[in-house]
A and B are shown apart, each in its own frame.
Chain A
Amino acid sequence: MMFYLGLMWEYFKNYAKTRLTYRADFWIEVVSDLAFQAINLIVILIAFRHTPTLGGWTEAEVVFVFGYFMVPYGIFSCFFDLWNFSERYIVKGEMDRVLTRPAHNLFQILLENMYPPGLIGSFVGLVIMAVTARQMGMTFDWTDLVMLLVLTAGAVMVYFGLYTALTAIGFFTDAPTGILPLMFNLQSYGRYPVTIYNRTMRFVLTWLLPFAFVGVYPASYFLERSGAADLRMALLTPAVGLVFTAIGLVVWNIGVKRYRGAGS
């Protein structure tokens, strides 16, 4: 474990050195990340100019959920986003190199693709949460802080598991599947109240591609409006995270096995 933490630090240092040579790019990346979120926020703000509530949720509540959504998302995009995997590791063959190194292959790949600017989005998300919480007159105590950590960890694990499983598709087909970029669209629906969707959609977002667990479910833990059912879903977040992490790792390992020609 210490070994891997040490490695993470080394990789981070190399990332930082790389970025220092292209300083302008770094800021472009940060701004473009935030622009993406800003556009989505604008959609919400425009929508609320035409309605006082969205499925019974006020603007402040929806924006609070939006802010919360950015926190695990930022952590995900910093550590677990492997959008380039198929191209770089399978088509260009860098997977071979990874497999000749004495560290777990997924870990090496995650570290090589670390993207620290992603974390800036998490901070912006925290700011949005704080601002809207003040608007709503919410109070925070230390249990909320602990819960924030626990729920965020669960949400990040949902991301990790789901995306690791989807990334592993690269082992099975070297053609770009387009699933990852489109999944990107899909995940954003987890930040709207799931009650606005029909049953199928709610089912998908809760159990199949559980993006509701990276946004609205854990965020509702902090909102005054939440009833017992909301709290139950919020507390389920870590469990769903564990399940999906397990699925992700299993699929990944099957993929690696196939790559090495042991399976199939």
Chain B
Amino acid sequence: MTSMYLDLIRIRFLMMLAYRVNYYSGIVIYAVNIGAYFFFWHAIYGDQEAIRGFTLAQMTTYVAVTWMARAFYFNNLDREIANEVRDGSVAIQFIRPYNYLLVKLFQGFGEGLFRLLLFMTPGLVVVCLIFPIELPRDPAVWLLYAVMLVFSFIINAELNLLTGMGAFYIENVDGLLRMKRVFIDLFSGVLVPIALFPGWLAALSEWLPFQAIAYLPSAVFTGRSTGDEALAAIGLQAAWAVVLIIPIMLMWRAARKRLFVQGG
């Protein structure tokens, strides 16, 4: 059983390799993206030393590392699930001797591994060469960050599973998925660090799972959260990763019932 899931990771990894052009262009364009935000923040800072405790150097590092993290955790599981629900092939998955959601998750892992090794890592190197980025010197921070990155992946994948299953209830979920994507980019702190949000928006974000995807790990990486605060951030990530399993299970059960009763 375990070997099957490992094989899923391997196969997806190979599949991703086949689409090489994706990643040449991907690294370039992510770098341009980072560049654009770098200049954008540069202009906003003007003569200011720091905004809400973020120095410009920290902000630059934040932008770079957050985008590169996004290159890692991002995947299309939601769309894949929605497509399989729509064209009916999900029904076949029910009769297979495995858990469909776990299969999807492991496929996501395969993709994530690929993205980590061939996208995020070289991307980060490229970005470090171009922009004035301050990497943390303490190895403990790197370790913490690595753990948080895994949680980022899990939480984002969980949200993708959850929204992908929306296709069981809405005939055309593409619009909703697109909307979810931009909301996540905003509320996870990819576009603007949550610390810069106006008070009420920041307060709202703290109660949503999205900040655990990008903002929390990047805050640790840039040295904004340290010590206990960093550990608390990991705790929060872990909590969300566990809590999100509940709606997934509920939705999955309801979807199955729906499929069996209505015949898809």
Instruction: Write the residues of chain A forming the contact surface with B, with a CB cutoff of 8 angstroms.
Output: 22, 24-25, 28-29, 31-32, 35-36, 39, 42-43, 46-47, 49-51, 53-55, 173, 175-179, 182-183, 185-186, 189, 192-193, 196-198, 201, 204
| Additional 18 contacts, C-beta under 8 A, given A173-B21, A182-B26 | A25-B172, A28-B175, A28-B176, A47-B44, A50-B44, A50-B51, A51-B48, A54-B44, A175-B22, A182-B33, A185-B29, A186-B32, A192-B40, A193-B43, A197-B39, A201-B32, A201-B36, A204-B32
Q: Chain A residues near B35 (CB, 8 Å)?
A: 197-198, 201
Which residues, 141 to 176 on B, are CB-close (under 8 Å) to A? 170-172, 174-176
Chain B binding surface SS class: helix
Per the bound structure, the CA–CA distance linking A176 and B196 in Å amounts to 36
Q: Which of A22, A179, A193, A204 contacts B25 (CB 8 A)?
A: A179
- State whether B175 touches A31 (Cβ < 8 A): yes
* Shortest Cβ gap from B223 to chain A (Å): 20
Per the bound structure, the CA–CA distance linking A67 and B174 in Å amounts to 25
- State whether B40 touches A196 (Cβ < 8 A): yes
- 5 A-B pairs closest in CB distance: A196-B43, A28-B175, A178-B22, A32-B179, A182-B29
Q: What are some 27 contacts across the A-B interface (CB < 8 A)?
A: A22-B172, A24-B170, A29-B175, A32-B179, A36-B178, A39-B183, A39-B186, A39-B191, A43-B192, A46-B201, A47-B44, A50-B48, A50-B51, A51-B43, A51-B48, A54-B43, A54-B44, A173-B21, A179-B21, A179-B29, A182-B25, A185-B29, A186-B32, A186-B33, A189-B36, A196-B39, A201-B32
- B181-223: contact bitstring with A at CB < 8 Å (1 yes, 0 no)? 0110110000110001110010000000000000000000000
Q: Chain A residues near B176 (CB, 8 Å)?
A: 28, 32
- State whether A51 touches B46 (Cβ < 8 A): yes
Which residues, 34 to 53 on B, are CB-close (under 8 Å) to A? 35-36, 39-40, 42-46, 48, 51-52
Per the bound structure, the CA–CA distance linking A111 and B50 in Å amounts to 51
Instruction: Write the residues of chain B forming the contact surface with A, with a CB cutoff of 8 angstroms.
Output: 18-23, 25-26, 29-30, 32-33, 35-36, 39-40, 42-46, 48, 51-52, 170-172, 174-176, 178-179, 182-183, 185-186, 191-192, 196-198, 201
Q: Chain A residues near B42 (CB, 8 Å)?
A: 196
Q: Chain A residues near B172 (CB, 8 Å)?
A: 22, 25, 28
Q: Chain B residues near A182 (CB, 8 Å)?
A: 25-26, 29-30, 33
Closest to A38 in B: B182
- State whether A51 touches B45 (Cβ < 8 A): yes
Chain A binding surface SS class: helix
Closest to A179 in B: B25
- State whether B175 touches A25 (Cβ < 8 A): yes
Q: Chain A residues near B33 (CB, 8 Å)?
A: 182, 185-186
Per the bound structure, the CA–CA distance linking A36 and B198 in Å amounts to 20
- State whether B186 touches A47 (Cβ < 8 A): no
Q: Chain B residues near A185 (CB, 8 Å)?
A: 29, 33
- State whether B43 touches A177 (Cβ < 8 A): no
- State whether A35 touches B179 (Cβ < 8 A): yes
Per the bound structure, the CA–CA distance linking A28 and B191 in Å amounts to 23
Closest to A192 in B: B40
Q: Chain A residues near B48 (CB, 8 Å)?
A: 50-51
- State whether B182 touches A35 (Cβ < 8 A): yes
- State whether B186 touches A42 (Cβ < 8 A): yes
Q: Chain B residues near A35 (CB, 8 Å)?
A: 179, 182-183
- State whether B21 touches A201 (Cβ < 8 A): no
* Shortest Cβ gap from A130 to chain B (Å): 25
Per the bound structure, the CA–CA distance linking A101 and B131 in Å amounts to 52
* Shortest Cβ gap from A159 to chain B (Å): 17
* Shortest Cβ gap from B21 to chain A (Å): 5
* Shortest Cβ gap from A147 to chain B (Å): 28
Q: Chain A residues near B32 (CB, 8 Å)?
A: 186, 201, 204
- State whether B175 touches A177 (Cβ < 8 A): no
Per the bound structure, the CA–CA distance linking A42 and B43 in Å amounts to 17
* Shortest Cβ gap from A39 to chain B (Å): 5
Q: Chain B residues near A22 (CB, 8 Å)?
A: 171-172
Q: Chain B residues near A31 (CB, 8 Å)?
A: 175, 179
